[in-house]
Chains A and B, each alone.
Chain A
């Protein structure tokens, strides 16, 4: 199912990958990740969002104003950065959709999990009032559906990662993550099951189970579509997107649902809170050691040959995360290219030239 095919359902938009899709789903909505749709600029938001704010919320607002998301029923915005909180303020003033601000902790310890559990309860109450009440039964069913989805996604990644993803999704792992985040989960799970079956039988027939290409890490902020598509089409490299529309979305932990008498909404909220806060850390998380560890693991496990770092303009998280990764790349002598964009496709020509020149040197 592509992104547009989900329009028969009541879609609820979300932004940050710490947003629990299970809860939106349990309220009877289809969680739909809002990603920049417009390939051109965001000139129609100059009156609302300052020019020094991240282009992601600026582009979403631009798309909203152009009617791209008229079919949405509501939105859950996460307090992931200053720019998102400003988007919330603007949308509260001018949108007819319901808009909810979800507070997400920057820490991962027990206090943070406790706090986030309580925030999820508040979100559940809100969503329940807007859609269907989040009963224990609905919570359990949605949690199980998403647990299955995460499990299937991880099986697919484990089975040759980008190599297989590229066969089924034009933009490789990024394409997989984007579709996974914007489709009705039941249908998407069935699609994943079919893909896995096909891949398993193909491996058996051909005896090939190994990806012969070198790993290229696409790190940094949310990349423009043009960049992910450009890289996914490259035959010499398997691209691993280390960003929130890539591995950090695809590699969520698989929580075990509380069963029997142990089961209660509060316990499910706690379980969801823990599983989201324990997913691969993003640059926003207040734990540079875990971020460093995660980067080291990726660089070593994937035997990364080179890195392209997408420095999203006006994103402080990206800017400082680069300094951490830069040190690691220098330590491991991994070549890298830093590119800057505002998520538009306007600069794609120049970007393509730079990326191709970099990849040619590596070849």
Chain B
């Protein structure tokens, strides 16, 4: 049997939970699968190794483990040399390992409403069934997501561990910058007390330099992907969302992005896009929100069957200015508050419109993850506003984690219908 398949089968067995909670599993996966598997990009191989190292470290519990919500600034974690663990990202991994359905059933039994976000339902059950490494601290931010801070409150109560919540206002102004910066300073103060580590200017300099360097390479990657044809597709691009969530400020992130920059530039320099991949850019797309983690079918169909290419992802977009180590909390606050998803929808619209222009795309697809009030909630308004500007938009209903709630056939019909519309528009 294929070792990947064998491993997945083992995870689904009674031993599965023990395997997942063992640091040895992640070391083995790193040493065996990462080394032996073929990756389309060396950068992705490096990122997978980094993710497995982080998981092993979290389960090892030698250093304090901080559970973080998706949009909590990960620089805060690295400033104190904590090991991050993101339950929402873990839910995505569990879905890709075909383990989510049991956890979703468990969450129903626990009284979690089935209309809640399945990332959160899966994470809540994963917490109760002790799939996850024990946290020393929990950190969550309010921006973009109503559910995550509630989930973290529940988990902090369950584990009786300190919880640091970041309240991010709706508006970006002088008052909100101060409000967020003050909260970050307070959290840093608590962490100094809890970890016994003094936050030094040197440490801030180091972590911010890593974050800024990664940002610089991300911008370079965006520039290269704007070329026609683009050297990287969405199947690849969407995997780097992991770094968006947990890589900012991590020492390995700049090298991973640098590697990707070099690889993409080499493809462009060698004019290898077309020859290596064929004409797979019938339509260039922007992908909004996340992707289904339980199955690659949707993206594969779009990119491999219909020859559309996702050339940019909303989640990988660099929207923030560089961090200033002289004003650490203020500049982190500015980064947080500059997120296009905050505030009136005009901000998100403006960002997507600019991406459409910069990447010369034909259309925008929004993956409407059922439980997400923030992103899906705005999809209809986005559709109206983008269509007014002549930008075709498709909202694809689905669920990132739960593969059973939205039949693939429905999505397929909508994708094919959209494809026909694009064909007519560009006949």
Contact = CB atoms under 8 A, between A and B. Distances in A.
A319 B112 contact: yes
Interface stretch (A82-90, A194-202, A264-272): A82-90
Nearest to B348: A89
A294 interface: no
A interface secondary structure, majority: helix
B381 A93 contact: yes
Interface stretch (A99-107, A225-233, A245-253, A343-351): A99-107
A49 interface: yes
A326 B109 CA distance: 13
Interface string B146-177: 11011101101100000001010111000110
**Chain A interface category by residue count:** 35 or more
A326 B111 contact: yes
Given A92-B344, A286-B167, A324 B377 contact: no
Given A49-B380, A112-B179, A81 B112 contact: no
A92 B384 CA distance: 13
Given A118-B175, A319-B112, A83 B373 contact: yes
Interface string A36-80: 000000000001111011100000000000000000000000010
Contacts of B145: 82
Contact of A50 (B175, B344, B377): B377
Given A52-B115, A89-B344, A93-B381, A115 B175 contact: yes
Contacts of B380: 47-50
B381 A90 contact: yes
Interface string A283-308: 10010100000000000000000000
Interface stretch (A163-171, A180-188, A309-317): A309-317
B116 interface: yes
A118 B179 CA distance: 11
B146 A50 contact: no
A115 B174 CA distance: 10
Contacts of B150: 283, 316-317, 319-321
A323 interface: yes
B69 interface: no
A101 B344 CA distance: 9
B19 to A, nearest CB: 29
B344 A322 contact: no
A235 interface: no
A105 B178 CA distance: 13
A320 B175 contact: no
A105 B111 contact: no
Contacts of B116: 316, 319
Interface string B312-348: 0000000000000000000000000000000011000
A114 B149 CA distance: 22
Nearest to A322: B111
Nearest to A80: B146
B377 A53 contact: yes
B157 A324 contact: yes
Contact of A82 (B113, B146, B179, B368): B146
Contacts of B368: 50
Contacts of B379: 50
A335 to B, nearest CB: 15
Nearest to A48: B380
Given A50-B376, A81-B373, A115-B178, A86 B170 contact: no
Contact of A86 (B115, B165, B378): B378
Interface in B104-142: 110-113, 115-117, 142
Contacts of B117: 316
A81 B176 CA distance: 17
Contacts of A89: 344-345, 378, 381
Interface string B62-101: 0000000000000000000000000000000000000000
17 contacts: A52-B372, A54-B373, A79-B169, A83-B373, A85-B170, A86-B377, A101-B344, A106-B149, A107-B183, A112-B179, A115-B175, A314-B373, A316-B146, A316-B147, A319-B150, A320-B147, A323-B110
Pairs A-B, 8 closest by C-beta atoms: A320-B150, A82-B373, A319-B113, A115-B179, A118-B175, A79-B170, A86-B377, A316-B147
Interface of A: 47-50, 52-54, 79, 81-83, 85-86, 88-90, 92-93, 101, 103, 105-107, 111-112, 114-115, 118-119, 283, 286, 288, 311, 313-314, 316-324, 326, 338, 340
Given A47-B380, A115-B178, A320-B153, 18 more contacts: A50-B368, A53-B373, A79-B170, A85-B170, A85-B377, A86-B373, A106-B165, A111-B183, A111-B186, A286-B165, A286-B167, A311-B113, A313-B113, A316-B146, A316-B147, A317-B150, A320-B151, A338-B111
